[in-house]
Amino acid sequence: MTIASDLIRGNTDTIILASLMKKDSYGYEINKDISAKTAGEYEFKEATLYTAFKRLEEGGFITSYWGEDNVTARRRYYSITERGKEEYIKLLNDWNKSKNMIEKLIDTGVIVNGE
């Protein structure tokens, strides 16, 4: 969990937008997907997730609504907006650019194939 968690946290918004690109989802489901994709190595804290939701909603990148599918558990679903999709593309481009830059800056060839 500690590995690179700061690096990941810097991309919280991108990760959330990315998981909403496919379909509307709620907090726990998004976190479960992230956990599954990282083989249980990473998961957002509730605090991080909801601070991000709030920020993204204020920015008009996502909207939310109460889902009516389940009677016992009322869940708030989040949905990406057109603006959110644009923002996602922009953030993804930013990430690709900085990824290449950082790689060039920090890779000295000391570690080859994990050795």
Kindly tell me which of 58 and 103 has the beta carbon lying closer to another protein. Answer: 58
Kindly tell me which of 46 and 94 has the beta carbon lying closer to another protein. Answer: 46
Helix pair 46-58, 12-22: axis angle to 10 deg: 80
Burial 42-68 (b: 16+ CB within 10 A, else e): bbbeeebbeebbeebeeeebbeeeeee
Q: What's the Cα-to-Cα distance from 66 to each of 31, 41, 52, 60, rounded to whole Å?
A: 18, 30, 18, 17
- Contacts with another protein in 13-52 (CB under 8 A)? 26-28, 31-32, 43, 45-48, 50-51
Q: How far is the CB of 82 from another protein (least distance, A)?
A: 22
Kindly tell me which of 50 and 98 has the beta carbon lying closer to another protein. Answer: 50
Site string for another protein, 54-83 (x = CB under 8 A): xx-----------------xxxx-------
Structure tokens given for 4: 């690179």
Binding residues for another protein, per CB under 8 A?
A: 26-28, 31-32, 43, 45-48, 50-51, 54-55, 73-76
